[in-house]
Structure 1
Amino acid sequence: MNTLAEAPPKEPSVKDIITGLQNTVSASRLSLFLQCRLKFYFRYVLKLKKPKTAALHLGNSVHSALKAWNKARWLNKPLSLKELHDEFSKAWADDSEGSVKWEPGEEDDEKTTGWRLLDTYIRQSASMALTKPDAVEVSIEADLSHQGLPRLIGILDLVQQGTIIDFKTSSSTPNAASVEHLHETQTSAYAILYRHNTGKKETGIQLHHLVKLKNPKLCITDLPPMTQQQEHRLFHLMDNYYEELGRTEFYPSPSFACMGCEYFGECRRWH
């Protein structure tokens, strides 16, 4: 019996990738496009893989442990501190998304910092732990085609009593006056997703910054529900994202942030 070998799957063209990116957008994707189009091109179009940084590994591990902590609360089976530590250690050992090239002694120091952040968070948010979450780490989307916009996707870290909560790790204390402005694209996107999927208006938005200081601390920024003006701004940015992405013009946006960019070498060779 003759059999035909299956042809290997065809790699999508740049045009196909860009079309897909036009059709669906997340807050992080939109923010990066606004920040630097060339970096967006390297990450989402060429999909260049880069080693994971120590800071990203720490943040991901803390985030995974908090997900386990809040999911256990949602199931009415709260974790002990020891069980939380076990979840953190399991997340720390996970290298499925790439390993980190550690300097001698660096990994132990960073792991200790990560656990101290978690311990601080649990102790300082004890009152919040008494209330059952509405949702934990939920992937949702909003079809905005009736607005002539791409489909919006995202993951909400935590929703509790109608408040959208997002976790962040930071090396410095956030400035309350600038936090709302810096994260408006993300918070507005989350509000749209929440309203689209619940039919209700969020009671508010909270950004929980776990700050990596000698004495770690938790900084909570309370934000009001999204305003109509913020919704209009987000929709305008999404419309601009769709139109500009279709022009396939990717160029750098030099700033002080370039020094910490993983694509600095590629950017310097850009032409």
Structure 2
Amino acid sequence: MNAPADAPPQERSEKDILNGLQEKVSASRLSLFLQCRLKFYFRYVLRLTKPKTPSLHVGNSVHAVLKKWNKARWLQTPLSLKQAHDAYTEAWADTSEGKPVWDPGEEETEKTTGWRLVDTYLRESHVPPDLKPDAVEVPVEADLARHGLPRLIGILDLVQRRQIIDYKTSATTPNSEKVAHTTEIQTTSYSVLYRHNTGDQESGVALHHLVKLKNPKVVITTMPPMTSRQETRLFHQMEAYLAGLQRQDFIPSPGMQCVACEFFNECRKWH
């Protein structure tokens, strides 16, 4: 018997969720699993929700403007600075993904900080406004079944002259060597996705950090095309992810990172 048209959708069982997570993986899921399996379990299996952090709201608002700016470049109708500001105001007011909890006076300060990041980036023209991108915010995936791995999925912020560009906001000036290491899962994943979907090799990867200092600045870290060693490392990491999910190996990884973890209280109760 079919369910009534207005019946509420049934919640997926934990088994179904785990099966789905074994079929597809993104760089963010993989990174979190390798960072702390219990945190992964809370976020992606139990799907516990937490209030949106102010820093995430700033980052999302900045990203929304850059996305719109790049799409306008792709359409070859570049945005004016005023249009970009209007887009930022609209993005800031959007709380569809959750409303942050602000301290008194914090929201206006952070709102100004976010716009100054956008303004700095656009005025310094780190990507020529009249140069049409290869792709903007493209959802892509790669079938890695022949390697015995899940489908790899992701969204490429920007591809320009075969260079994969990803935007990040940061409170401190990044160290290029450390950034290349800590983001390797993400950058290698993007390279795999690019090659599978274009049949071509990327010219490299660039991380554009918008740094929230008193005087905002943009720091660009460029990396060469993915090496075979990096691809092998990623595939082994994906194997560990798949094996861990199959064993339901969700254990905590206590460390300094726990101080800012949104699941700190839940983790303390784990047994």
TM-score, structure 1 normalization: 0.97
Q: 1:128 to 1:13 in 2, by over 3 A?
A: same
Q: Which residue of 1 aligns with 2:177?
A: 177
Structure-1 residue corresponding to 2:105: 105
Aligned match of 1:193: 193
Distance (whole Å) between structure 2 residues aligned to residue 59 and residue 163 of structure 1: 22
**Residues in 2 aligned to 1:249 and 1:196: alpha-carbon distance in whole angstroms:** 30
Q: Distance in 1 between matches of 2:30 and 2:216?
A: 31
Q: Provide the rounded CA distance (Å) in 1 between the counterparts of 2:200 and 2:249.
A: 39
In structure 2, the residue matched to 1:33 is: 33
Asked if 1:16 corresponds to 2:27, the answer is no
Q: CA deviation at 1:177?
A: 1.5
Local SS of the residue matching 1:107: helix
1:58 corresponding residue in structure 2: 58
Whether the 8 Å contact between 2:156 and 2:164 is mirrored in structure 1 is yes
For 1:30, the aligned partner's letter is L
Aligned length: 269
Partners of 1:209 and 1:175 in 2: how far apart? 11
Structure 1: distance between partners of 2:96 and 2:85? 20
Residues 51, 99 of structure 2: 8 Å contact kept:
yes
Kept after mapping to 1: 8 A contact 2:76/2:130:
no
Is there any run of 5+ residues in structure 2 with no aligned partner, and where? none
Task: Give the distance between the partners of 1:85 and 1:13, measured in 2 at CA.
Answer: 44
- What is the match of residue 121 of structure 2? 121
Runs of 4+ in 1 over 4 A off after TM superposition: 3-8
Q: Find out whether 1:153 has 2:153 as its counterpart.
A: yes
* Residue 130 in structure 1 maps to residue 130 in structure 2: yes
Indicate the percent of aligned positions where both proteins have the same amino acid.
Answer: 65
Deviation at 1:10, TM superposition (A): 3.0
Pairwise CA distance, 1:38: 0.5
Change (3 A) 1:127 1:98: closer
CA positional deviation for 1:239: 1.2
Q: How far apart are the structure 1 equivalents of 2:244 and 2:183?
A: 22
Q: Residue 26 of structure 1 aligns to which amino acid in structure 2?
A: S
Deviation string 1:38-57 (CA, Å, 9 cap, x unpaired) is: 00000000000100000000
Normalised by the length of structure 2, the TM-score is: 0.97
After TM superposition, give the deviation of residue 129 of structure 1 in Å: 2.4
